[in-house]
């Protein structure tokens, strides 16, 4: 298989900083497109993976799964895109396409495991996949998304993970008018959850540990805010919500958030902390509450969400950074010091 070398940023060990690396990309095969990456969002999953917090990271690791750019090359069989088109790639770049989940268009739940954009398995080169902290990426056209042309491109990048990861559960649990929905953890995912749930017509309640985000909540679209560090505010809001989306990246007491749910309410976890989260039996039993999880979203859902954002003029609130600033950005992410998503301007990688 023909390959070429591209510039990237990644890490060679859990405790090492990210630094410039050279990686191999395959040349486009018949159904591939090659994308010149313009912007890449910085997801907390990038940090969890770079530092091997979920175990199983293969090094060197090049993170990045909120990718937008312009198509620079297409394979001979490509029909959905042409050279020069804007295009985007999210958290997965392939799946088995044969299992029950793939056949019904839920590739994210592929029974053989979807192929993740980074730290996945690159079947053509028989090694790990490398993500969007790089100049270019080569992806099968079926896993490439179209980008609405009316949105700020840099601020669109985070929709590819933070957007769809909140969109998919909000849709799955039928969030809309008449529903009171809590969003916990107002980082990259959470702030998109607030914007999307509001645009879907729900009554949105922001639940945050950060006093500085209380003032921002209304601007993001929240109808109410709960400061979760206030026992009084948490008690006053017990048994009031139909659905809670938990977007927290670190250890936290899920029971406190379950207590906000009404009878039959569901808390869906999308946040993926390193260690298990204990659940008390009596957080669930007396009120028949549900505790659930959800991973990213399908390709069809991702396109649906992008088109919805185009119509409703929804993008992420971003802070644009240079590739060389990624290690500082990770430190700030850990402190919750970003409003609300870092996005890397990939031009900086050419320096
Ligand atoms: P992020 O921007 O760092 O946001 C995380 C937020 O969690 C913080 O802004 C903070 O919000 C809250 N938080 C942090 N520490 C906390 C603590 N100890 N107790 C309570 N709240 C705390 O991260 P992100 O990129 O949105 O990702 C969030 C999580 O989702 C990560 O674990 C990531 O790996 C995971 N994720 C999962 C999927 C999936 O498919 N399921 C996809 C993408 C990401 P406040 O300041 O408002 O309290
Ligand atoms: Zn992500
Ligand atoms: Zn499959």
Residues 173 and 208 in one domain: yes
Domain final residue pick, 293, 311, 342: 293
CA 85 – CA 71 distance, rounded (Å) = 5
Cα torsion through 214, 47, 197, 213, rounded to 10: 10
Could you tell me if 107 and 51 lie in one domain? yes
Neighbours of 58 (CB within 10 A): 14
pTM of the model: 0.98
Is residue 45 scored above 90 in pLDDT?
A: yes
| Same-domain check for residues 23 and 137 | yes
Last residue of a domain, one of 264, 293, 322: 293
Neighbouring residues of 298: CB distance < 8 A, sequence distance ≥ 6: 105, 106, 107, 108, 168
Q: What is the C-alpha separation between 45 and 116, in angstroms, rounded? A: 12
Residues 113 and 71 in one domain: yes
Q: Are residues 149 and 11 in the same domain?
A: yes
Residue minimizing CA distance to atom 34 of ligand 1: 45
Residue 119 structure tokens? 């730290």
- Ligand 3 midpoint to CA 102 (Å): 4
341 and 284 within one domain: no
Residue 128 shares a structural domain with residue 62: yes
Span 213-227, mean pLDDT? 96
* Count of domains forming the chain: 2
CATH of the domain at 251: 3.40.50.720
Which ligand is in closest contact with the Cα of 338?
1
Task: Give the separation between CA 149 and CA 15, rounded to whole angstroms.
Answer: 40
Residues 59 and 101 grouped into a single domain: yes
Ligand 1: list residues with CB < 6 Å.
Answer: 43-45, 48, 161-162, 165, 185-190, 208-210, 213, 247-252, 270-273, 294-296, 333, 336
CA angle 244, 247, 252 (to 5 degrees): 90
* Residue recorded with tokens 């990688």: 349
Quick one: pLDDT at residue 351? Answer: 78
**Domain identity same for 240 and 127:** no
157 and 184 belong to one structural domain: no
Same-domain pairing of 215 and 305 = no
- Residues 133, 120: Cα–Cα separation, whole Å: 15
Q: Give the pairing of strands 341-345 and 32-41.
A: antiparallel
Of 41, 44, 194, 211, the one to substitute when testing ligand 1's pocket (max ligand atoms within 8 A of C-beta) is: 44
Q: Which of 135, 157, 189 is nearest to 89 (CA)?
A: 157
pLDDT value for 349:
96
Which CATH number do you get for residue 49? 3.90.180.10
Q: What is the pLDDT of residues 133-168, one digit of tens each?
A: 999 999 999 999 999 999 999 999 999 999 999 999
On whether both 130 and 217 belong to a single domain, the answer is: no
In whole numbers, what is the pLDDT of the chain averaged over residues? 97
End-of-domain residue from the set 278, 293, 308: 293
Provide mean pLDDT across the span 220-227: 98
Q: Which domain holds residue 280?
A: 163-293
User: What percentage of the chain exceeds 70 in pLDDT?
Assistant: 100
Q: Are 260 and 234 in contact (CB under 8 A)?
A: yes
Predicted confidence (pLDDT) per residue in 229-282, tens digit: 999 999 999 999 999 999 999 999 999 999 999 999 999 999 999 999 999 999
pLDDT band, very low/low/confident/very high, at 102 (cuts 50, 70, 90): very high
Mean pLDDT of 60-77: 98
């Amino acid at each position: 298989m023909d390959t070429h070398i591209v510039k990237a940023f990644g890490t060679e060990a859990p405790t090492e900083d990210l630094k410039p690396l050279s990686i191999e990309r395959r040349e486009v095969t018949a159904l591939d497109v090659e994308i010149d990456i313009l912007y890449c969002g910085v997801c907390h999953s990038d940090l969890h993976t770079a530092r091997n917090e979920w175990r199983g990271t293969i090094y060197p690791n090049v993170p990045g799964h909120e990718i937008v750019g312009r198509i620079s090359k297409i394979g001979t069989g490509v029909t959905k895109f042409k050279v020069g088109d804007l295009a985007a790639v999210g958290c997965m770049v392939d799946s088995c396409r044969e299992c029950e989940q793939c056949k019904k268009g839920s590739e994210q739940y592929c029974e053989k495991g979807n192929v993740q954009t980074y730290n996945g398995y690159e079947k053509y080169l028989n090694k790990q996949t490398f993500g969007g902290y790089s100049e270019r990426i080569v992806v099968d056209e079926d896993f490439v998304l179209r980008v609405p042309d009316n949105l700020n491109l840099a601020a669109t990048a985070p929709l590819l993970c933070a957007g769809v990861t909140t969109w998919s559960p909000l849709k799955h649990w039928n969030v809309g008018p008449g529903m009171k929905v809590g969003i916990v953890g107002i980082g990259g995912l959470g702030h998109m959850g607030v914007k999307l749930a509001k645009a879907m017509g729900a009554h949105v309640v922001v639940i945050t540990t950060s006093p500085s985000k209380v003032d921002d909540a209304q601007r993001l679209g929240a109808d109410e805010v709960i400061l979760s560090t206030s026992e009084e505010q948490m008690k006053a809001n017990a048994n009031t919500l139909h659905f809670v989306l938990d977007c927290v990246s670190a250890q936290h007491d899920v029971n406190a958030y379950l207590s906000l749910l009404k009878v039959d309410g569901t808390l869906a976890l999308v946040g993926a902390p390193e260690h298990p989260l204990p659940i008390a039996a009596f957080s669930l039993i007396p009120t028949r509450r549900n505790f659930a999880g959800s991973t990213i979203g399908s390709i069809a859902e991702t396109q649906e969400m992008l088109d919805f954002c185009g119509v409703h003029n929804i993008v992420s609130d971003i802070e644009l950074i240079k590739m060389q600033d990624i290690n500082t950005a990770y430190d700030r992410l850990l402190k919750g010091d970003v409003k609300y998503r870092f996005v890397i301007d990939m031009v900086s990688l050419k320096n």
